Amino acid sequence: MTVMVESFRHEALLHAGDDGFLAGAVPFVREGLAAREPMLVAVGPARIALLRAALGDDAAAVHFADMRELGRNPGRIIPAWHEFLDEHRGESGGVRGIGEPIWPGREPAELTECQLHESLLNLAFGDADGFRLLCPYDVEALEDHVVHEACCSHPVVQDAAGLRASPDYRGDDGDRLLAPFDASLPRPAAPAELLGFEHDGLAEVRALVAHGAGDLGLSQEKSSDVVLATSEIAANSLRHGGGRGVLRMWQEEGALVCEIRDRGHIRDPLAGRHNPRPGQPGGWGLWLAHRVCDLVQVRSQPGGTVVRLLMRAA
């Protein structure tokens, strides 16, 4: 028997408070469980506890992940969904998820990257038939412009009035989806140290970042991670960005920020969000930076690329 599955469905759940969250999430989960569809719920710890209590014994069939950890850097979320689909797609072909990357209190830079992530989901899983992803937005707690952007990045919206196509959705064309994120990154919030580097300059890049990490008091692990990530991005500049680049480094609200600029152009908007294959010769630099840094921001145009890495002291 041939099992028919829908194409990827990306839905925004516009709800009011915890009761509204449960009113939308519980039927979504139960419907998936009834269809024997693997389910991953990635929300904050308080929402996990609410949903477990509401589901009772059925919660044992659901995979839960703390989005405050998984999605601290939003660039890690798409690879996590890919891993779940690869590991759990069943005979029915259907897979469900609930993902809440945006919550009150996100820093402005994090919020922007979360909104970019929500748009990128449509490109990353456009051919993932049978995958249905519900993204909760608390309209009581989030600002209006955040809720509006959710309607622009989700083709389907669910609220108290029911399920409907979003009239504000920017469409499946990548240029339109990502247009709001073409703007340049804001200027450094503090005076920056500057270092130009060429093919023999990676040691200087690593030394400067290690010095900055020590000044901020980063742990040995965090220091090693940000040095490695910055070195990998600088190496990409040498290979793909014209053979040279510029490092700027500064401290910002308890974090070390390292920015690499070069003349290269990253054409794949999902660069760094593909899980590399074992033995793959390239494509590890941005992926590694996303894995170890607290935030990674990439802006690339035909005239050049900027990659900004942030590592918090705590």
- pLDDT for 182-210, tens place per residue? 889 999 989 999 999 998 999 999 999 99
Model confidence at 138, pLDDT cuts 50, 70, 90, reads: very high
Question: Can you give the three-state secondary structure of the chain, one letter per residue?
Answer: CCCCCCCCEEEEEEECHHHHHHHHHHHHHHHHHHCCCCEEEEECHHHHHHHHHHHHHHHHHCEEEEHHHHCCCHHHHHHHHHHHHHHHCCCCCCEEEEECCCCCCCCHHHHHHHHHHHHHHHHHCCCCCCEEEEEEEECCCCCHHHHHHHHHHCCEEEECCEEEECCCCCCCCHHHHHHHHCCCCCCCCCCCEEEEECCCCHHHHHHHHHHHHHHHCCCHHHHHHHHHHHHHHHHHHHHHCCCCEEEEEEECCCEEEEEEEECCCCCCCCCCCCCCCCCCCCCCHHHHHHHHCCEEEEEEECCEEEEEEEEECC
pLDDT at 27 over 80: yes
Q: Residue 1 domain-assigned? A: no
Whether residue 147 is contained in a domain is answered as yes
Examine residue 3 and state whether it is found in any structural domain, yes or no.
Answer: no
Q: State whether 116 and 164 are in the same domain.
A: yes
- Given this model, what pLDDT does residue 101 score? 98
CA distances from 311 to 137, 258, 295 (A): 27, 9, 7
Is position 186 within any domain? no
210 and 157 share one domain: no
Residue 282 placed within a domain: yes
CATH of the domain at 172: 3.40.50.300
293 and 217 together in one domain: yes
Shared domain check, 93 and 166: yes
What does the pLDDT look like over 274-293, one tens digit per residue? 988 877 666 789 999 999 99
Last residue of a domain, one of 181, 210, 236: 181
Q: Verify that 253 and 202 share a domain, yes or no.
A: yes
- In the predicted structure, residue 310 carries a pLDDT above the cut 80: yes
236 and 203 in a common domain:
yes
Across 147-159, average pLDDT: 97
CA–CA distance from 113 to each of 32, 71, 288 (Å)? 29, 11, 17
pLDDT band at 78 (very low <50, low <70, confident <90, very high): very high
- Answer yes or no: is 203 within a domain: yes
Residues 45 and 100 in one domain: yes
pLDDT at res. 89: 80
Res 277: pLDDT: 80
Give 163's strand partners. Answer: 158
**Could you say which of 181, 208, 239 is where a domain stops?**
181
Domain containing 173: what range? 9-181
Q: What is the pLDDT of residue 91?
A: 63
Mean pLDDT of the region 74-97: 90
Strands in 9-15's sheet, in edge-to-edge order, are 63-66, 39-43, 95-99, 131-138, 9-15, 156-159, 162-165
Q: Does pTM surpass 0.85? A: yes
Cα end-to-end distance, the chain, whole Å: 54
Residues 97 and 214 in one domain: no
pLDDT at 163 over 90: yes
Q: Among the three residues 158, 181, 204, which one is the final residue of a domain in this structure?
A: 181
Domain count, the chain: 2
Neighbouring C-alpha atoms within 13 Å toward the C-beta of 292: 19
Mean per-residue pLDDT, 257-263: 97
Are 147 and 126 within one domain? yes
Confidence of residue 28 (pLDDT cuts 50, 70, 90): very high
Q: Is residue 187 part of a domain?
A: no
User: What is the CA 140 to chain-centroid distance, rounded?
Assistant: 23
Q: Is 239 found in the same domain as 150?
A: no
In a domain, 188, yes or no: no
**Quick one: 144 and 28 in the same domain?**
yes
CATH number, position 286: 3.30.565.10
pLDDT value of residue 1: 30
- Based on the domain organization, do 243 and 171 belong to the same domain? no
| pLDDT for the residue numbered 278 | 78
